[in-house]
A and B are shown apart, each in its own frame.
Chain A
Amino acid sequence: MLRDITLGQYYQTDSVIHRLDPRVKLGGTLLFIISLFFFQNMWGYVIAAAFLALVIHLSTVPFRYIVKGMRAILFLLLITVAFNLFLTPGTPLVSFFGGHVRITYEGIRLAVFIALRLCFLIIGSSMMTLTTTPNNLTDGMEKMLRPLKLFKVPVHEVAMMMSIALRFIPILLEETDKIMKAQIARGADFESGKLVQRAKAMVPLLVPLFISAFRRANDLALAMEARCYRGGEGRAKMKPLIYQKRDGIAYLCLGLYLVAGIGIGRL
């Protein structure tokens, strides 16, 4: 079940977007999301859509693959649209049940905007994870957040923890599977019963899993120390992040989009 999560999944192709510096993509995604909240008319969304279309086209990730990831938020989308549609006060267009429930002109407008905003938000951020490997992403984050070191935030350590966590997810999943099978073989029942019973049934799964995770962590720490790991100080980078020409161009495009989008979108 955990294998089905598409969030943060990387789509392997070799496009310009894939090769961009992760800092550009991280910053770009953030600015793109913020820009969505500035729009007050249709034109802003048109520009955002055009910008997204350009990015998707350049990334060569199939559009259907991106939309597939949207299914997860379909329910959330519907609820949001419904609330905005029925509960916004203003000029009524249609009303049901003797005027208790009505759809207003403002409601339709708001619902459409919210829906577009949510869709763009999800597509925009999944464009980042689809085109950036998790490793690259942590590297980019580490470098972008480096100024926080002044406030004693352990930036390098957090980035290291993230990449180790990512490395061990498949191993621990496999282990969970193994323990589950071992416990089922001894008569454990994970499938039937009420919620409370099911939660209780998880105990014989979680305890060995935690013990093994701690043991692994201990081994890994030893192995890292044996290979001279001593924190971020004085550490060289095998794949250092250096801005290329294409990153400059990407920043320029982003700037143009922001000026155009917010300038026109707020008219």
Chain B
Amino acid sequence: MGIIKAQDVVYEYVKRDEEGNVEGSIRAVDQVSLDIEQGDFIAILGHNGSGKSTLAKHMNAILYPTEGCVWVDGKDTRAEEELWNIRQSAGMVFQNPDNQIIGQVVEEDVGFGPENMGVPTKEIWERVEESLKAVGMYQYRKHSPNKLSGGQKQRVSIAGVLAMHPKCIVLDEPTAMLDPNGRKEVVRAVRALNDVEKITVILITHYMEEIVHADKVFVMDQGRIAMEGTPREIFSRVEELKALRLDVPQVTLLAYELQKQGLDLPRGILTIPELVAALEREKGSLKKDTPEGKDKKCP
């Protein structure tokens, strides 16, 4: 069993009318099973309302499955006495950076989690320092969070989770409210956590560019897992992704369109250099210049 395992998870939101009578229910998560290995970088994709955020909240025992079971680090999330251990081993970063920063100074906010866990004072300071360094925000430790940019705030939130020494971090659309630069900052910090600190990362997003480096991708639609595989496998199924209302990265789409026009390119191209290399090879074999070749350099 991996760090997070879900077995046939069903979650229903109960709809009530004004008197509080049950009107019906909506299945947000429907028969989802997954097993996430320690140290993996997992991406969960899906458009709005696909149930990905609801699923994420199960990984931190904020929500409990209506049917089925979720285990975090081998512990059933419904076991009340394990609640705080589960929340400590699976940290969570939310979408809105303003609404999850509690402290009035960056270092105080990062210390909030360890404070709650009852970590001795000296160790709190050590943890705060190493977490802020891991996300590259150490020089801002004395600043007020209100004065930081969105990307910086989100990195502080990540540091706040990191200071709790979790085994895995669930990020629920951490970049949805950020500008492109902030998005890059956050994704870079998240990748560093996975590469350097070997923390399991579960990144929930609807930006395709962010999942290119994932070990495994789950695509959700209507509460179910619609596709599953490596980014390369997923991106080679362009038509299916389009049917799920998801945007394929520009490079992949371009390669796909070229392929349809008869160029012999490998399937599931993810990055610009990859496409350039493939086109160079293609040029060599066809001995003919492809006018589209120039376009890739500036997508």
Contacts and interface: CB of A to CB of B under 8 A. Distances in A.
B207 interface: no
B118 A226 contact: no
Contact of A236 (B94, B124, B160): B124
Contact of A219 (B99, B103, B113, B117): B99
B163 to A, nearest CB: 9
Given A230-B116, A236-B124, A238-B114, A223 B102 contact: yes
Contact of B104 (A134, A226, A227): A134
B115 A164 contact: no
A222 interface: yes
Contact of A230 (B60, B84, B101, B114): B84
B105 A219 contact: no
A29 interface: no
A228 B164 contact: yes
A227 B116 contact: yes
B296 interface: no
Interface residues of B, number: 38
A163 B102 CA distance: 9
A228 B145 CA distance: 21
Interface string A159-199: 00001101100110000000000000000000000000000
Contacts of B60: 226
A135 interface: yes
Interface in B81-111: 84, 87-88, 91-92, 94, 96, 98-105, 107-108, 111
Contacts of A224: 102, 112
B118 A227 contact: no
B119 interface: yes
B193 interface: no
A225 B99 CA distance: 13
A73 B124 CA distance: 44
The bracket for how many chain A residues form the interface is 20 to 34
Contact of B115 (A163, A167, A170, A235): A235
A240 to B, nearest CB: 6
Q: What DSSP secondary structure best describes chain A's contact surface?
A: helix
A237 interface: yes
Contact of A223 (B84, B99, B124): B99
A220 interface: yes
A220 B102 contact: yes
Given A135-B105, A230-B84, A223 B100 contact: yes
A163 B62 contact: no
Interface string A210-221: 000000100110
Nearest to A231: B116
A234 interface: yes
B149 interface: no
A229 B128 contact: no
A227 B84 contact: no
B140 interface: no
Contacts of A219: 94, 96, 99-100
Nearest to A134: B104
Contacts of B100: 219-220, 223
A167 B205 CA distance: 28
B146 interface: yes
A236 B120 contact: yes
A186 to B, nearest CB: 24
Interface of A: 133-135, 163-164, 166-167, 170-171, 216, 219-220, 222-230, 234-240
Given A166-B104, A238-B111, 5 more contacts: A163-B104, A220-B100, A236-B114, A236-B124, A238-B121
Interface of B: 60, 62, 84, 87-88, 91-92, 94, 96, 98-105, 107-108, 111-121, 124-125, 128, 145-146, 160-161, 164
